[in-house]
Amino acid sequence: MADLTAPQFTDETAARAALEAVRWPNGPVCPHCGSVDDNVTKMEGKAHRPGLYHCKGCRGQFSVTVGTVYERSKIPLHKWLFATHLLAAGKKGTSAHQIHRMLGITYKSAWFMCHRIREAMKDTSSLPIGGGGKHIEADETYIGTKKGYNKARSTHHKHAVFTLVERSGKARSFHVDKVTAKRLDEIMRANASIESTLNTDEALRYVKMGKPFAKYQVVNHGKGQYGLGDHTTNSVEGFFSIFKRGMKGVYQHCGEQHLQRYLAEFDFRYSNRAKLGVTDKEPADKALKGIEGKRLTYRRINEASKAASLG
């Protein structure tokens, strides 16, 4: 865990400098037209607010938060960086109530902050996981109760989650409406390299989707098998264990419309864990790099105001 008294978590100027260093390692870039270097000037007069830049190319003005999930927020930037670090560092997550208490902001603001940060954590890579000589484990789990049911007495009444885990690598999770062979196969083909070895349990739905892979291995949980050499789904089961402890112990309640965003958060932390050689600081920096080009709103944005926004 990084030093939570570090300047970027307590001082606005230091926070802005830290974010600029992560987002613009080679100097400011205009988010409107992409201009750099001599075409971008920092506006340092007393009439201008700190961190404001002018672009000669498009004659627009911008700050480091324009074009990011932090844009148009009235919450101080150092609190955004603090919340981003907390969410990236906590193995099972950090609740909005905890952030609300630690940052001295309303619970509503903290809740919205957390969802914006989860949006920044979303994996936008189109490259499949796995590859030659690598193992991918696939499995599904169920959590919560669908709207309209008082109790979840079977998996039919629960929210389904399908996850792919590359051993000693990334996790990718998906909220699926129905667990069918067709739907899981679509996800598998789009996200897993067929040069990999695929490992699943004995469910028949996996048999057909396992055929294109370089090798397909099954562990039969129904017969009490949980590890036969490298025939195992222990990695994906371990991911589900962390996910469920976090959802039940930290977040407790999750609406179906937000589940995919929570999955992105748990995927992010699992894919950037210490076991992979990732340092304490790296996950937060990676989340900061992911804030660009993403917006998350729960009300209609006035386009004129958006265009005139300075971040």
CA distance 195 to 133: 8
What is the pLDDT at residue 210? 94
pLDDT of residue 166: 98
- The long-range contacts involving 180-186, CB below 8 angstroms and separated by at least 24 positions, are 180/205, 181/205, 181/206, 181/208, 181/209, 184/138, 184/140, 184/209, 185/209
pLDDT of residue 225: 77
The architecture of the domain spanning 135-254 is 2-Layer Sandwich (3.30)
Residue 230: the pLDDT is 85
> Along the 311 residues of the chain, how does pLDDT read in single tens digits?
567 889 999 999 999 999 999 999 999 999 999 999 889 999 988 888 899 999 999 999 999 999 999 998 999 999 999 999 999 988 889 999 999 999 999 999 999 999 999 999 999 888 999 999 999 999 999 998 776 665 545 566 889 999 999 999 999 999 999 899 999 999 999 999 999 999 999 999 999 999 999 999 999 888 877 777 788 999 999 999 999 999 999 998 888 899 999 999 999 999 999 999 998 889 999 999 999 987 666 554 444 334 333 44
Question: Helix 282-289 crosses helix 77-89 at what angle (to 10 degrees)?
Answer: 120
CA distance 46 to 120: 33
* Single-letter amino acid code for the residue at 139: D
- Provide the 3-class DSSP secondary structure of residue 286: helix
Q: What is the pLDDT of residue 78?
A: 97
Residues in the chain: 311
Task: Return the ∠ at Cα 164 (arms to 231 and 286), rounded to 5°.
Answer: 125
CB count in 10 Å sphere of residue 111: 15
Structure tokens at 88: 């990236």
Domain boundaries, the chain: 7-124+291-308, 135-254
Position 45 scores a pLDDT of: 81
CA distance 276 to 209: 28
